[in-house]
Amino acid sequence: MVRALFFDVFGTVVDWRNGVAREARRILEPLGVAIDWTAFADAWRDRYQPTMQKVRSGQMPYANLDVLHRENLEQIKGTFGLDRLDDATLAALNLAWHRLDAWDDAKRAFPRLHKRFLMAPVSNGNIAIMVDIARHNGIVWDAILGAEIARDFKPKPRVYLSAAEALALRPEECMMVAAHSSDLAAARKNGLKTAFVARPNEGPGKESEPAEAFDVVARSFDELAQKLGA
């Protein structure tokens, strides 16, 4: 009996690629910058997994995603001719990740799912990013769980298990919802139920089909709600 739904956020709930591209353009175009905005978003996101891996492996202590995003921005800025940007502009740019738009079906299906289930993001993003994204999109969560609570990053077991523990639930009472098979495979290994929701428009990282047979497979949050009887 599933009592809580845990959501991956970047890619699954929000469109990081078009959001980061849009915010970068909004901030940088008035400064005379003309670059491929989508390529910039992709390059920034490319640094995401390798940087988190340093924390997962114990090579560096936990730092939240706002900090890692900023480090990654410093690493890629030269490639895009952005070396002269001042600190305030880089800080504003880093907040692009706080202003991402949710896919349309999230706004539509979440109120319906929320009537039946506890709902929390279990993301590698920190609490401040999750709070701002929720406000930006009118999403209501019961709690913000995930990396900042666990002080480690998915797919490390602690992230999934600490989320279940925070709600005083057993892992099998929680269902991880994600567009990424690797996230779901790790959740399943730790005893959680799993739901794959396809995001064919995510861009890099997108999966049209799940790599394993998860408990639920859906094309949208509407279909997820229907399959879960919500």
Residues 3-62 that bind a second copy (CB under 8 A): none
- Taking the complex as a whole, the smallest distance from the CB of residue 143 to a second copy amounts, in Å, to 4
Site string for a second copy, 72-111 (x = CB under 8 A): ----------------------------------------
Binds a second copy by CB under 8 A, chosen from 126, 147, 197, 225: 126
CA 135 remoteness from chain centre: 15
- Taking the complex as a whole, the smallest distance from the CB of residue 2 to a second copy amounts, in Å, to 16
- Taking the complex as a whole, the smallest distance from the CB of residue 165 to a second copy amounts, in Å, to 9
Strand positions, DSSP E, 40-192: 118-123, 145-146, 174-178
192 binds a second copy (CB under 8 A): no
Bridge partners for 119 per DSSP: 5
Euclidean distance between CA atoms 93 and 69, whole angstroms: 10
Euclidean distance between CA atoms 58 and 66, whole angstroms: 19
- Taking the complex as a whole, the smallest distance from the CB of residue 18 to a second copy amounts, in Å, to 24
Euclidean distance between CA atoms 33 and 86, whole angstroms: 13
Site string for a second copy, 136-165 (x = CB under 8 A): ----xxxxxx--xx----------------
In contact, 202 and 183? CB cutoff 8 Å: no
Q: Are strands 145-146 and 174-178 parallel, antiparallel or unpaired?
A: unpaired
In the complex, the residues that contact a second copy under the rule CB under 8 A are 66, 118, 126-128, 130-131, 134-135, 140-145, 148-149, 166-168
